[in-house]
Amino acid sequence: MKLFVDTGDIEEVRQAADWGVIDGVTTNPSLIAKSGKGFKETVLKICELVPNGDISAEVVATDYDTMLKEALEVSSWHPNVVVKVPLIEPGISLVKTLSDRGIRTNVTLVFSVSQALLAAKAGATYISNFVGRVDDMSDDGMTAVEATVRMVETYGYDSEVLVASVRHPLHVAQSIAVGAHVATMPFKILGMLFKHPLTDKGLKQFLDDWNKAGLSIIDAKA
Ligand code: E4P
């Protein structure tokens, strides 16, 4: 499964890239606004830090003609830019146009399998199914992800199912369990994936035993 980090913060991208386990970065208008930096400048820096990753940059217009102009603009910035498009009527038409031109897309704000079907039929590269925002409403966000993975596999669509709005490591474990292709998450959640108390406890025990025995790797005597 691909791991993306969901951020507009360059330092977070830099740290995540240093770990060597991320396959891309997703941004959205709120994250870019929060970064306090320009959109193009931020996207280009992210492309530099994650040279082999897919970097999602979202259009903000809601009419087809302006969305198309914005899509062509952001996709001209770097070959790794994936145009992020909301699941609205002109958005789906735009995804079809871009897909016919070989421009990759990430359809965002998807909450149901029937919405996901429209994205898949239009040729979306990624379908961003939000889970946390549904869980926040006392529903189970992962149900639609599971149905979407099944839909894509049953009918042989090329789209990859991207789990978005991830709130905690259990969402990541559930994404793996339902066979999602990608999970994108805030930097904080990515960092939490490292953590297990038995890892800390076990490492302390190993090192205490090693040090008590006075052993060394670099200056090993025998
Ligand atoms: C996805 O690409 C979105 O940017 C993101 O996952 C939204 O997450 P939120 O619901 O925590 O804002």
Q: What is the pLDDT of residue 219?
A: 79
Residue 166 in contact with residue 184, Cβ under 8 Å? yes
Nearest CA to ligand 1 atom 1: 164
Measured in Å, residue 204 CA sits from the centre of ligand 1 at 36
For 178-207, what is each residue's pLDDT tens digit? 999 999 999 999 999 999 999 999 999 999
Is the predicted pLDDT of residue 220 greater than 80, yes or no?
no
CA distance 51 to 57: 15
Is the Cβ–Cβ distance between 37 and 67 less than 8 Å?
no
Q: How far apart are CA 57 and CA 44, in angstroms?
A: 10
| 60-95 tens-digit pLDDT | 999 999 999 999 999 999 999 999 999 999 999 999
Q: Whose CA is nearest to atom 9 of ligand 1?
A: 165
Could you give the C-alpha distances from 141 to 8, 104, 115, 138, 203, in angstroms and in order? Answer: 24, 25, 14, 9, 36
